[in-house]
Chains A and B, each alone.
Chain A
């Protein structure tokens, strides 16, 4: 049976960055809608949300606000694989990974550090951060 899942371990708190990454990874086919109150999902599933990533396919990614950070909710069935991590088969793994990487790269740069991405197994990317101060 198809059902919504919540990635409780993922919290987005920089929505400008998230919107930019959605555009980048989808080549413009998906977009972040901060005004959305409903998202498209499998029939009969709850559709309420506080924002949403509008997808090109039949299902969207809902975002629920929990204490100022947004948690993704979606039904992977029949959802476009735009943000799928192909190595780990996680339906929005490429999105959550890229968000974390870009946030870390930004903060490292703000602190005068240099970074380097190292691809690993099963979709893991290691960010090497060097502090030479």
Chain B
């Protein structure tokens, strides 16, 4: 299955993450995508943004 991740890179160093095509489509899935694929890149940066259907406190946003 084709998977698509959107990293919204903000000039202030924050990055919002959206993930599509991952099983379940929950915020936790997005967190796992984030950790698996981009932890080295943006793992030290704060994730902020809206969260659809998950835990807003996690700060992720998932389609």
Query: What residues of chain A have their CB less than 8 Å away from a CB belonging to chain B?
Result: 7, 9-11, 13, 69, 85, 87-88, 90, 93-94, 96-97, 100-101, 103-104, 107-108, 111, 113, 120, 123-132
Contact = CB atoms under 8 A, between A and B. Distances in A.
A96 B14 CA distance: 9
Interface residues of B, number: 22
B57 to A, nearest CB: 17
Given A11-B45, A131-B3, A101 B9 contact: yes
B60 to A, nearest CB: 15
Given A9-B13, A124-B11, A131 B46 contact: no
Contacts of A93: 11-12
A85 B14 CA distance: 14
30 contacts: A7-B13, A9-B12, A13-B40, A13-B44, A87-B11, A88-B12, A97-B10, A100-B7, A100-B15, A100-B41, A101-B9, A104-B7, A104-B42, A107-B37, A107-B41, A108-B37, A113-B37, A120-B8, A124-B8, A124-B9, A125-B8, A126-B7, A128-B4, A128-B5, A128-B6, A129-B4, A131-B3, A131-B4, A131-B5, A132-B2
Contact of A124 (B3, B10, B41, B44): B10
